[in-house]
Structure formats: C-alpha cells, structure tokens
Structure 1
Amino acid sequence: MPLQLRDYSWQQTPSTVFLSLPLRGVCARDADVFCTENYLKVNFPPYLFEAFLYAPIDDGSSKAKIGNDAIVFTLYKKEAVMWEALSMSADKETMQRIREKSILQAQERAKDATEAKATARREDQKYTLNVMMKIEEAERKKIEDLKENERRKVTKELEAWKECQRNAGGHKGAQGEEKGGREEKPFEERKQLKHQRLTGSWTSRHSAAKGRDLGSIFAVPLEKEQVPAPRSARSIAVSFTPRAFPTALRESQAAQEEEWLHKQAQARRAMNTYVPEFFDLKEEEKNPEWLKEKGNKLFATENFLAAIEAYSVALKLNDRIPELLLNRAACHLQLKNLHKAIEDSSRALELLTPPVADNAHARMKAHVRRGTAFCQLELYAEGLQDYEAALRIDPANTAVYSDAEKIRDVIKEQNC
C-alpha cells in the first residue's frame, strides 16, 4: 500500500503557488507527475501525493523541478486570488469524479497532441513533395531548353549548308550554259572523251590512293605488339591451416577444447533467457555480466552480503557462468558460510569441464577455495586433496605450495 505524503510545504502569491514535496532519493526518471487544472498527483514508490486544488490552475504553463531530494512545483493560477488552502475538502465521490474528469482531460489532450503531430507531419510531407516536384520540374525545363537550343543550332547549320549547296549548284549551271553556247562536237566524240575522262579520273584516283596507302604502310615500320607468352598449365596446391585453440596442447586436447567452447557458447546464449521473476528489473540489471561487475565492486568495499545478492540474482538469470559461483564462494568464505562456499566451489568445478588450459586458472581458484573451506571445518585431509589438485594445475604457485605444506604439518601433528 502506498504511503500518503503529508509532510509538504506551500506558499502563494495572488498569481502563483509554490509547492515543495520532500522525497528522499527522487529522480526525474522514476517520479510520475500528473497535473491538470484541478488535480495534482505525484507517484514515487512507495510514496504517493494527491491534491484536489482549491482553484483552477494553468497546467500548461506550470512547472516542476525534480532534484536534491525534493520536487518543487510552480503553479500559475487562472484567477489572481488568494487561496484559503492548497487542497479543497471533498468527499470520496467528489474526489473520484475529479480524478476521472482529470484523466479524461489528459487523454483528450494527448489525443489532440497526437493528431496535431500527425497533421504537422502530413503538412511537412506535403511541403517536401511540392518542393521536390518544383525541383524536378525546373530540371526537366532546363533539359528541354538545352534540347531546344541544340535543335535550333543544328537547324541553322543545316539551312546554311543547304544554301551553300544551292549556290554551288547555280554556279555549275551557269558554267554549263557557257559551255553549251560553244561549238558542239559530234556525239561519238563526246562519248569517247567522257569515257576517257571517267576512266582516267578513276585510275588517277586509285593510283593516288594506292600510293598513299603504300606510303602510309612503309613510311612507318611495323611495330610488333609485345604480347606475353601464354601461361603454362599447372596445378596449384592449396593448404589450410589447422584450427588453433587457446591452449598450447591443442593437438592432443582438440575434443576437450571443442566441448569447452560449446559450453561457453551455450552460456552466452542463456544470457538472453527471459525470467518472469525479474520482469520489473531495469535493463542493465538483467545482464549477468553487469551484475557480476556490481558484485565485484561490492566485494572490494567488503560489503559481502550485497555482493552475494548480486551474484545470486545473476545466477538466477544465467546459471552457466562459473565465475559467479567462484566469486560467491569467496564471499561465503569471508562470512564463514563454509558449507555454502564448498557447495559453490563444487558447482563451479562441475561447470569447468572438460579441464583445458582456457579454464585452468578458474579450476585452480575453485580447488583452493574449497580446500580453504574444508580446512576451516578441520577437514584437513579433504582440504589437502584440493590443494594438491590446484598444484597439479599450477605447480609454480608458491603461495598454494606453502599452504599445502602447512596443511601437511597439521595432519602430521594430528597423527602423532
């Protein structure tokens, strides 16, 4: 049930009302403010504030400032009068009627705003279309003008050429008339002379053209094109490099590496699984990687309980990430929850299979943390087994070797 906020303060002038609502941790993203001319509502879970205003206000010009653990309203009155109280006294039916009326007004206003936006968008599209049509029409007219100018230019050139041809034809006709006025030769003689002229002109033209061709051929020596020799046929051998795994022993652990990479891919796909229990979480809070980083920061500040909570939520979203179990086991060790630390370390080791170089460091941490929990429960033999398993993974780790020697000494003292 929401908590009604009654600890507020307000002041007024003949034209303005100043209202201050103290809300710890309020922010603009989470606060829901609803205001009409007769009704004001603020919902910031778990707090709720309602005011049935004494007189109408101009809700379009009124303002709200959210921040510094408070919401400050500046409400402008429609009539310049002093109010006797911020909220009017009314029964439940009247208040319900005012609420419903305010909601209807807000819905109508939102509908009008949506229609106005749609109308403005249509007008913008219409204006854009008109501008594009004008641009296309101008381009089309420009192209047509260029075509028309070219047509006129070609027409003028053609007319000038025709005029030149007519002038040349008239000149030849005049020359023919002059020749016709001279003494005409017999028909056979004229025919023979015409044949000689035609054959002689063709022979001379052919010879000249042939001479030009011969001259053009032999004036410049032929240059052979430098054409490369044809390629010799042969086969090309193609070799493919083998699949490279992140481990140095990839040839002998190929199957194990494939299985580990398949498990990692399954874990990444599980990150997008829908969990109804966490439907109300923020978007970043539904990401196991984000929750893991959050838990790591809390662990660094020694807030182990909060870190456990972050890791637990992440595990509910995706229980295939072994790092979450290892980190939660470390938190349980700090809080002396030894059985839970053993359980989380064992679950992490189950996920860290098959054993490959890519998960070697995580397996070593799981063995060390489970061995530490066993030793704190005075189960030194079981703890020594985990420490020896960690040393088999990383034999050069001096810290783990030193702790294993201490456990051996304790076991020797107990057996004596």
Structure 2
Amino acid sequence: MPLLVTDYSWTQTDSTVCLSVPLKGATVRQVDILSTDHYLKVHYPPHLFEAFLFEPVDDERSTAKVGDGVAVFSLPKRTNKVWEQLMITTNDKGKKEIRERALLKYQEKLSAQSTSKVKKGHAEKKYALEKMMKLEREKRDSIQKIKDKEREKTTAELAAWQLRQKEKAEEEDQLKLHSQRDVTSCVIKSAPTLVAFAFLLNTFLHLDQRGDSEAKSRRKQEDLPAPRLVGNIQVTFTPRLFPTALRESRVPEEEEWLKKQAEGRRSVNADVEELGDLKEEERNPDWLKDKGDKCFVTGDHLGAVNAYSLAIRLNRKIPALYSNRAACHLKLKNLHKAIEDSSQALYLLTPPVAANAASRARAHVRRGSAFCQLQLYTEGLQDYQAALKMDPHNEALQADTQRVRDSIQGTAADP
C-alpha cells in the first residue's frame, strides 16, 4: 500500500484555495500530478496524496509549482464563498466514483490536447511547406532572370561580332578589287613585253595569297571565345552518431543521452577497501549483470538481486541494473522496491530517444505491474499506456492494458 501524505497545509480566500504538499525528498521528475475540478492527486512513489475537494474549482485556471521539496497549488473557486473544510467526507465507494470520474475527465482532456497538438502540427507543417515552396519559386524565378539576362547579353555580343566580321569582309573585298584594277592598269601601260606582264601577275597573285592567309589567321584569332573562369566548391557533411537525419533528430536530447552513457561506463564509485576481498571479475559491473541474468533464468531471484545490487554499488549509472532488479523484486513480491527500482531506471533513461525506447517500455511495464498488485490500478494503467505508446503492436501488452482498464471500471476481476 502507498504511504498517504497527511502533513499538508492549506489556506483560502473567498475566491482561491492555496494548498501545500511536502514532497519528502522526491525530485521534480518523480512527481505525478492529476487535477480536475473535484479531485487532486499528487503521487511520488511510495507516497500518495489525494484531495476530494469540498466544492468544485476552475481546473483551467489552476496552477501548480513544484520545487524546493514542496508542491504548491493555487485552485480558483467556481463560486466565491468560504469553504467549511478542504475535503468532503465520504466512504470508499464515493471516493472510487470521484476518482473514476476524474480519470475519465483527465483522459478526455489529454485526448483533446493530443488532437489539438496534431492539428497544430499539421498546420505548422503546411505553413512550412508553403513557405518552402514560395522560397523555391522565388529562387527559380531569380535564376531564370539571371539566365535571361545572360542570354540577352550573349545574343547582343554575337550580333555585334557578326556585324564587325561582315564589315571587315566587305572592306577586304573592296581592297582586293582596287588592287586588281591598279595592277592591271599598270601592266597595260608600263609592261612592253609579255615577260614583264607575267612577272607582275605572278607577284600580284603571291601578294594576294599572303593577304588572304593573314586575314584568315586574324579571323581564327577573333573567333576564339574568352577562357572560362575556374573554381572549387567545398562540400561538407554533418557527422551523425544516430541513424536519423539531422533535420528530424533532437540533437540536445541525443547528446545528453550519449553523455550519460559515457558517464555510466566511466563511473565506478564503490569503496576500494570494501571490495578488497572480491575477485577481479566480481569488480566488473557487466560480469555481475550477466551473472544476475543467469540467476534470474534459473529461478534464483534472491541471488540475482544480490548480483545486481553489487553491480549497482560499482556503477550507479546503468539503468538496466535497476530495471532487472525490479523484475526480481516482482518475483519476490517486494512491490515497493520494484516501484523504486523501476522509477530509478526511468530516471536514468532520460532523455527519451529511439535507442532506449525498448528499455523504457520494460521499466514502465514492471512498475505498472507492481502498482496493479498493490491495487493502484490508476497508476498502473498510466504506466501500461506509456509502454503501449512505445510498442503499439504488442498484442500481449494490449491485452494487459485492457485488463487493467476493465479492473478500474469494475467489469473484470483483479488482474
């Protein structure tokens, strides 16, 4: 059975109730709070505080502050009047009905929040997609403008070059024609013999061929395009230790998880003097874990607990040791110890990433089983549902979750 918290304190005004619940050394991560308009629950294993409120409060405007070893709640009243007491006086059956109504209302609230979150996520994805499409369209338009501008520039340069070439060719043809006329007239006037005329004609042809070759050489040099510019493009890729893409990953959580794993492999905080009589292999947490696993398989649950406990003394950062010891405590009916070890394993398995999803699911199932054996079905259902989110296709887990849900609704026997 859980330890009920009785050393709470409360004050009130006409419009607000202030409630203070001590946490008895629990961390913020270990505190589970459930609040509705008629019911308030604060659970931090193995302690439990329940308040069946005297009058309804406004759950939407209620606030909670957890820290410095205390949880402080501010509950606005629905009606402005002074309460005679904080809680109503009722029997166990009435408390069970209030508790069930509060759980159903809380589940409906979570469902509405989940639906709202999904719609918001779709809207954000749609906005991001439209924004990305707009940016890509603007980028394509900008590139097309640059291409059109370069095409126009190149076309203008080509037209100007063709015009220059045409003008040069016309000038050369006119010069050639004038030269032929001058030579012919000169030969007729001054060459008395055919020998002189033949010599001059041969000279003219030689000069004409040399002029044509020089003109062709100049044309070839002008036809050559300008040399292209060269350059290098550096491409770098982001190193990834996880298989997910960088845009889909949660980098801070993954880095924190890797840091905890590295600390867990390095940290050995057992006292050397106390371990002086142990063998060399018995000082290795991994060897002790394997030994505990073998003892558990053979049914030696007490021996497995001893092996896991010694491994935990050597290294308190390995979550599998706490989770496996919780399974042993379940077999030995040490239910509160099973809850403590499962909670510690879940604390070490943070942040939640894909690499530790299976381990977190096992820890949730073991803690949920311990809660159900203590007849705390509401807390057990929460753990089973958390495990089912990580492994939604597990048929055995689905059946266990449904049995716990039926037990809460009173339609089935104790699971």
TM-score by length of 2: 0.45
TM-score by length of 1: 0.45
Q: Which has the higher contact order (CA 8 A, sep 6+)?
A: 2
Asked which structure has the greater CA Rg, the reply is: 1
